[in-house]
Structure formats: structure tokens, C-alpha cells
Amino acid sequence: MHNATLVFDLDGTLVDTAPDLVAATNHALADLALPPVPAETLRHAIGFGARRMIVVGLKETGVTLDEPEVDRLLARFLAYYEPNIARESRPFEGAIAVLEQFRAEGARLAVCTNKRLALAEQLLAELGVRDLFTAVTGRDSFPVHKPHPDHLIGTIALAGGDRAVAVMVGDTGIDIETARAAGVPSIGCTFGYSDVPVATYDPEAVVETYAELDGAVRRLLARSAASA
């Protein structure tokens, strides 16, 4: 585990952010007097960002808007979400304990998310876990973002890590595709926000709980070392 770099997606992987993101989406849609959209309808759009959640919400209610109006709703979303970012969002069960274990064994931890960097930093700080991570990058940290491989490659570099001993942990096809393009093995989490089973995207390993993550990470790191 020493010198390994473990990179985590944020929404749906480290933190169950769906309740607060859904609340912000419905707050934005309420400006048009639209009814609330169910969480199950919106949660699969979370990995694509706030704008996609708004567009999905509009589609669900049968409304089509031009881009400036969607931008206005996005601004309304963000104005609500920022002060309410951690009202109900919580780390998934067992996540913090295993991350602390990884850190104690010398691993570098990083976050690579399509959330805007300021919001990602704020969420981690409000949850009291920011100090666990050597690097945090968001959709606006680099000229590109997931699924472009340079988002992950840049995150590993920012953490001072090496792709040859890195693992990406995520919950959607975006994460798995990013890792594959970057030449980094990936672990898919079944408890996240993917619209299809995450195993569909063929990650190198799949975990159903954080209790399984330690073993999966060690197996992938051992495989990487054997092939080096």
C-alpha cells in the first residue's frame, strides 16, 4: 500500500450526495412552478453534473427550455446548493475508516470529481474529511474533465503519485471509462448512481460495500506490481 495512489470519485462513491442534489434541482425547477421530480429519476444524472440533473428534471416534467433559461435555473440551483451542500449528504458507511487505514499504511488519497472544485472542497470540509486527501480536483481544475483521461492523470500527478501504482474507485461508467483511458485499473461501486449495473462497464473489480474495498485494492496493486 506504501506509495500507492488511490483516487476516488466523490458523488455516489465517497459521499451519498443525492438528497441535497435532488433538493437543489427541485428548488430550481420550482421557479417554474413544476412539481418535484423523484429522487430515483434524478440520481442517475448526478455523475454528469448539475446541469444534466436540471435537463433531466425538465424532460421528466415535459418542459423544454432554451440554453439561457437552463443557465438561469443552474444559477438558482447553485445559489441553493452551496449553503445546503451537507444538510443530508454523508459519507457511505465504512468509507472513512478504510480511507484512514489506507492513509496509515502510506497510500496517497485523492478525489477526482466532475463537481466544481470549490463545491467539492466545501463538501469535504463540511464533512470533516478534507485532510484525508493529498489532492482534490474538479471539473474546472484542468482544461478537460472526466471521462477525459487527463483529468485522472492530472489528479495523480497533483497528488505526487505514479500511474503505475494507482487505482481509480468510482460508481459510474464515466469513472471506469476515464480510468481505462488513463491506463489505471478501476474498482466499481455498486451502491452509487449508475443507471446500469457498474459491472456492465467491466472494471477490474466490483465492490458492494466499503468493507470489500481493502481486499480489492490490494489485489489490483499486486497485479500491477506483477506486470511491472
Give CA–CA dist 10/138, Å, rounded: 10
9 flagged as catalytic: yes
Place of cell 477526482: 112
Active-site residue, from 9, 11, 16, 175: 9
Question: Who contacts 150 (Cβ-Cβ below 8 Å, separation ≥6)?
Answer: 142, 143, 144, 182
Cβ within 8 Å of residue 176, ≥6 positions away: 168, 170, 186, 188, 198, 201, 202, 203
Give the strand order in the sheet containing 108-112: 135-137, 108-112, 5-8, 166-170, 186-189, 205-207
Q: With helix as H, strand as E and coil as C, how does 4-70 read?
A: CEEEECCECCCEECHHHHHHHHHHHHHHHCCCCCCHHHHHHHHHHCHHHHHHHHHHHCCCCCCHHHH
- Contact at 8 Å (CB) between 170 and 153? no
Question: Catalytic residue numbers?
Answer: 9
